[in-house]
Chains A and B, each alone.
Chain A
Amino acid sequence: MLSSVYHFLRTFRLSVLFGLGIVVLVLVAAIRIGFMRSLFIVVGILLLLFFPGWWASFFAFPMSDRVSEGTNSSPYPALDSIERTTLAIALSIVLYSAIVFVLYNFPGGGVLDAENFAIVIVLLNIMLFAAAAWRKRWIHPIFTLVLGIFPMSVILANRVFSIALTMKSFAVEVTLLLLVIILLRVSIPASWVGFQKRS
């Protein structure tokens, strides 16, 4: 119990520090280029260079070490924060480069432009988050399932209902997704699906 509380507090503290760091970065950049542009660039850089690899690293290496860990006594390979950050950035570069490659070489003449790429990178982040959440049991599996199939559903729904895949329609669909998740959370008790969190 105590170690769970400690782990939660430590994660919370690191997350708050991370968030504060981002805010400071945005404000410093805003001095030169304006607040909205600064926010756009910083969020874009995070979505490209950090988050995809971060979620993917949790899927591949769910166990975490501390930097000062004495021995690698865990039976599973674990990463400390420095290792995970390094791997996350490298993986992120690989992942978004792969997206550029796929979109550029898409059958039928390529579909690489800024809007398509932005939509795909956000969908990729959602899918990878779902994979990490399933591996780490951060949230109920039914939500990870919804998140995981959401990107494919978006593309299929747009094809079936002939809705143009634009940022506006995408934003509407993400909002709908969040509402569905909240509805599921409220309506389905954890005991119905026997979800047991790891101690």
Chain B
Amino acid sequence: MKFILHRSAIPFVLYGVIVALIIPWQLPVWILAAFIVYCVFLFWMVWECVSMKDRGPGSIQDNTNFFYSLLVGAVVFLAATRLYLFVRYGTFPLGYDTGFYIDTIEGVISELGRGSGFSSASIGAAREVRNYMWVPFLWLGIPSAYVLNGFYLLFQFLLGGSVYMLARSFHTSSRLIYGSVALFLFSVSIPQFFAFWWMFYQMEFAVALLLMTIVLLQRRSILAVVIGGFGAVLHPATFFPFGIALALFSIVQIVRSLFARKILEKETVFILVSVLIAFVVVRQFGQGFILAYTGGATNDYGWLLNNFPAQLRVMYSGLYIDFDLFQLANIYLLPFFALGLPLFILGKIRAKHTMLFSPLLLILIFLFTLFVLAYFPFIYRNRFLIILDITMIIFAVYPLSLLMVRLLKDHQGRVMLSLLLFGFISLNGYIVWNQKPQLYPDELAEIKAINNVAQPMDYAMTTESIYTPWVKAFSKRETIDPGFLRANLWNYAMWKEFWEGGSNARRHELLRMYDRPIYIFMGNIVPDDVAYKRLIVSDPSFVQISPHVWRYDPNAIRIQ
């Protein structure tokens, strides 16, 4: 009875419910048990700090050096993890779309000179905005690879800077503590590293602009409209959930002010006006753009992935990792996030204006929106996990800050804090160290070599769509692939016959649909025991050019 009436009982129950909802149940039992003990321990430590009279992260003067060190260390760790793959695997260690970007960036200047528009594959303003960013640097004579990768690394630091800005804008004391803890959590975040590895070029910049827009909205700056507008044009999918969250936030604030019988805060009025402007602009100018952006797929199949054909579901889920892997990757962060939510709901986190406007309320609504879009089978669901991770970091900052200040007070606490930080860093470091590129440098060299041995009109071919951008860009010729490109003559059923069918004669028949020699690339990802690879490796019709490239001449087969 005493426990039930104890002040920590209700928060603990709330915390327990949240942990139960987010815990990755697929873990082995003994790891689950350890994780639950970890969660209970954290609650006990943090709640003790919350219950103490001197709430808040504590005196800035006592801990300035530590949090400055944390800030600098986070920046250094971020730089190291982002640069490591370039040092180890060369110029193109990232991503899936890298090849498409290289193809586009090299075409920009020549297309500008011809006056034919920026991009032969342009589907509208998003691609044009990206090209506008590149043009001046190409004029400076900087090689395209450096422009592409240089901007992408810059986006990472902008993203870290904007997370720092957002954490500091909560109008509480000890802004250094919030900023440094937020930046630290961002730098050790595994989902953020995966997003970096996938080379989501436009989205990474758009997320940074999105966070800056939130900060500028809170400060009632007109720059919010400028930055937000640019980001929305650059990558509308990033701003789509934020638009929903803003609309919901506006409704919640209006209802709250009606019940409290108070006028709306200036910040809320500013947000309302911005929402109206955005609504009018999208309604007037944006519908055609959005339809072009989704490639008309929503017209054919709607907004739910379940209605899409199996071969399109991976692409329209947004690539990236799925929800289960996201939970596992965030294992260290989850308890802090689970603590941050009840602390906010129970009013333990102080905000400058506690009555009508709370920046954390906007983040909470945004988090809820992202969770719904990521958990349920909407299109692009996996991409929303990237932004969901950042909102979880924002809620995790306060409990982690409390814990850090509490542990810094004595020697044993400092040892425990070191172990906790080591856990965060080592898990991320382990993932980064073991992360492989989608295309190894030797494979890339072989694809580039195709251009040296093949005739100008010969085809290149990739049997796995994961290599499509690479083969297209670096072979510098018409490329046959499973689905995207115009040179492809096979439908999905034909590709399935080629991949899995039982007849090698049928495979030859399919390849003879093309009238020119084909240079077939099969990377390390293709297992040796698949039927089509066994054919290509063993049949004398296929001449091996290099370890991963074979030449097939359908005309030579016809003559025979």
Contact = CB atoms under 8 A, between A and B. Distances in A.
A100 B135 contact: yes
B227 A94 contact: yes
Interface string A27-53: 000000000010011001100110000
A93 B133 contact: yes
A131 interface: no
A69 B226 contact: no
A99 to B, nearest CB: 9
Contacts of A45: 137, 140
A91 B174 contact: no
Interface in A51-89: 60-61, 67-72, 77, 80, 82-83, 85-87, 89
B173 A41 contact: no
A191 B208 CA distance: 46
Contact of B158 (A80, A89, A117): A89
Interface residues of B, number: 44
A5 interface: no
Contacts of B87: none
A114 interface: yes
A61 B158 contact: no
Interface string B201-224: 000000011001000000111110
Contact of B137 (A48, A60, A87, A112): A48
A68 B60 contact: yes
A41 to B, nearest CB: 5
Given A61-B221, A68-B60, A90 B212 contact: yes
B132 A97 contact: yes
Which of A40, A44, A68 has the most chain B CB within a 10 Å cutoff? A68
B112 interface: yes
A101 interface: yes
A134 interface: no
A129 interface: no
A55 to B, nearest CB: 13
Contacts of A94: 226-227, 230
Interface in B152-201: 154, 157-158, 161-162, 164-165, 168, 171-176, 179
Contacts of B212: 86-87, 90
A41 B140 contact: yes
Nearest to A44: B140
B323 interface: no
B230 A86 contact: no
B121 interface: no
Nearest to B170: A72
A124 to B, nearest CB: 12
Contact of B219 (A48, A70, A77, A121): A77
B456 interface: no
Contact of A83 (B168, B223, B227): B168
B223 A60 contact: yes
A86 B173 contact: no
B259 interface: no
B64 interface: yes
A104 B165 CA distance: 34
Interface in B88-133: 112, 115, 128-129, 132-133
Contacts of A110: 115
Contact of B161 (A40, A61, A77, A83): A83
A60 B68 contact: no
Nearest to B161: A86
A70 B133 contact: no
Nearest to B174: A70
B310 interface: no
A68 B136 contact: no
A69 B140 contact: no
B132 A117 contact: no
Contacts of B136: 44, 48, 96, 100, 117, 121
B132 A100 contact: yes
A73 B212 CA distance: 21
Nearest to A67: B176
A85 B157 CA distance: 11
Contact of A69 (B68, B112, B175, B221): B175
B492 interface: no
Contacts of A85: 161
Contacts of A90: 158, 162, 208-209, 212, 227
Given A91-B227, A100-B135, 13 more contacts: A37-B141, A40-B140, A49-B154, A67-B68, A67-B176, A67-B179, A68-B64, A68-B176, A71-B172, A72-B175, A90-B162, A94-B226, A104-B132
Interface of B: 60, 64, 68, 71, 112, 115, 128-129, 132-133, 135-137, 139-142, 154, 157-158, 161-162, 164-165, 168, 171-176, 179, 208-209, 212, 219-223, 226-227, 230, 352
25 contacts: A40-B140, A44-B136, A48-B136, A49-B154, A60-B221, A67-B71, A67-B179, A68-B68, A71-B173, A82-B179, A83-B161, A86-B158, A86-B161, A86-B162, A86-B164, A89-B154, A90-B209, A90-B212, A91-B223, A93-B133, A96-B136, A100-B132, A101-B128, A110-B115, A117-B135
